[in-house]
């Protein structure tokens, strides 16, 4: 969702961070990120019970809904990939380099998405209708901390990503080594669950127990990619995968309430295990040589598509659902979202990313003049 284009340092053994090297792309993971966005888009348009169709989506799309009601698992897949890619970004880097790369990756498309959504709400009254102050707070990406409504529903995940980046930033300051990475990835979900069980509100909020296993398994899969894996790492992967399956299993009831139809806990757990296996297969397993250039193009569109698909797609559905075939409306909603995502990538991200990254890094590295 918020990960940078999926690139990685060549596999190298050892516990000390390697010197930063040019990174060959993992195009398979780029494609997998787009699949995650497609799952979420399908869930929001035809899975969850949105009012814009005028009827429950499981009545509007009875067959398709049998699949897309599980599209919420695209978020879990995003978190696994984020654990992999953010660990790859942070490993062997300074805190200034890490912070600058995250700011430049996250904010340009996000600011544009907020602005475009505010404009949309001026001409369409069927959305969230945020106040001007709500919209300004949204520009900080910290609105969840102040209980300010998100201008796009999908923005809620960014707050969890920000917490993850904070934890990784602290990790960078302490110093990332292979042993510490294994320890953090294994202990983090356990300590997070203890914080929730003991009603420690601050720690529970900081350690995000509901999603920690997904991030953690991604971190360990990065080690499998980087070092080839060993018994200790694979045991950690097994533990965090099982914990991720458990989270998905127990979330099925909540998902069923949103969908308005049955969501199988067993299917959720099995799907998470399959998605974790797919991340491994495309990074270090039998599919690691997948290198189709189109996958990187799709990967580049993933983050802006995730940001804008909600309100813009809902507006199309709301305006057209009574006047056209449901399949035509669905296609138009999807096409508009992809078109806006492409615009944000090529006209905003490509033009702003490097300058913003370099400017932030320069500002953080600047020292006070000697007196």
Q: What is the pLDDT of residues 152-174, one digit of tens each?
A: 999 999 999 999 999 999 999 99
Is 226 within a domain?
no
List the structure tokens of 138.
């949204």
Residue with tokens 């596999």: 11
Is 238 within a domain?
no
Q: Are 1 and 161 in contact (CB under 8 A)?
A: yes
Residues linked to residue 25 through DSSP beta bridges, in sequence order: 7
How many residues in the chain?
Answer: 371
Upper half-sphere CA count for residue 6 (Cβ side, 13 Å): 35
Residue 36: which domain range? 28-71+92-164+291-361
Task: For the beta carbon of residue 289, count every other beta carbon within 10 angstroms.
Answer: 8
pLDDT of residue 12: 42
pLDDT of residue 11: 44
Is 204 within a domain?
no
pLDDT of residue 284: 95
Is 203 within a domain?
no
- Complete DSSP assignment for 15-69: SSPPPP----B-HHHHHHHHHHHHHHHHIIIIIS--GGGSS-HHHHSTTTHHHHT
pLDDT of residue 370: 63
Is 127 within a domain?
yes
Tally of domains in the chain: 1
Is 215 within a domain?
no
Q: Are 160 and 208 in contact (CB under 8 A)?
A: yes
Q: How far apart are CA 287 and CA 140, in angstroms?
A: 38
Is 310 within a domain?
yes
For the whole model, what pTM was predicted? Answer: 0.92
List the structure tokens of 14.
């050892």
Is 118 within a domain?
yes
List the structure tokens of 37.
């966005």
Residues of the chain with pLDDT under 50: 8-23
């Amino acid at each position: 969702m918020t990960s940078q284009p999926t690139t990685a340092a060549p596999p190298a053994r050892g516990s000390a961070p390697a010197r930063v090297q040019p990174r060959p792309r993992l195009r398979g993971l780029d494609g997998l990120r787009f699949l995650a966005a497609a799952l979420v888009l399908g869930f929001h348009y035809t899975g969850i019970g949105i009012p814009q169709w005028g009827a429950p989506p499981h009545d509007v799309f009875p067959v398709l809904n049998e699949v897309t009601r599980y599209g919420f698992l695209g978020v879990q897949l995003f978190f696994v990939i984020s654990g992999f890619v953010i660990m790859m970004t942070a490993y062997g880097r300074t805190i200034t380099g890490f912070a600058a790369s995250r700011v430049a990756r996250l904010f340009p498309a996000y600011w544009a998405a907020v602005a475009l959504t505010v404009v949309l709400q001026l001409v369409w009254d069927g959305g969230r209708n945020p106040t001007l102050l709500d919209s300004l707070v949204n520009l900080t990406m910290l609105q969840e901390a102040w209980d300010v409504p998100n201008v796009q529903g999908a923005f809620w995940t960014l707050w969890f990503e920000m917490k993850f980046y904070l934890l990784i930033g602290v990790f960078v300051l302490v110093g990332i080594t292979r042993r510490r990475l294994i320890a953090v990835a294994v202990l983090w979900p356990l300590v997070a669950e203890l914080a929730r069980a003991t009603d420690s509100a601050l720690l529970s909020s900081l350690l995000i127990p509901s999603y920690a296993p997904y991030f953690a398994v991604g971190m360990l899969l990065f080690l499998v990619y980087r070092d080839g894996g060993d018994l200790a790492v694979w045991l950690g992967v097994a533990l965090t995968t099982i914990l991720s399956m458990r989270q998905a299993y127990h979330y099925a009831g909540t998902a069923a309430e949103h969908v308005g139809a049955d969501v199988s806990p067993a299917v959720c757990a099995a799907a998470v295990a399959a998605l974790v296996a797919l991340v491994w297969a495309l990074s270090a397993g039998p599919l690691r040589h997948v290198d189709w250039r189109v996958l990187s193009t799709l990967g580049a569109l993933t983050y802006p598509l995730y940001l804008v698909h909600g309100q813009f797609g809902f507006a199309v559905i709301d305006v057209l659902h009574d006047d056209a075939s449901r399949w035509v409306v669905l296609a138009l909603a999807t096409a508009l979202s992809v078109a806006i995502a492409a615009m944000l990538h090529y006209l905003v991200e490509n033009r702003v990313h490097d300058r913003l990254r370099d400017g932030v890094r320069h500002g953080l590295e600047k020292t006070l003049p000697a007196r």
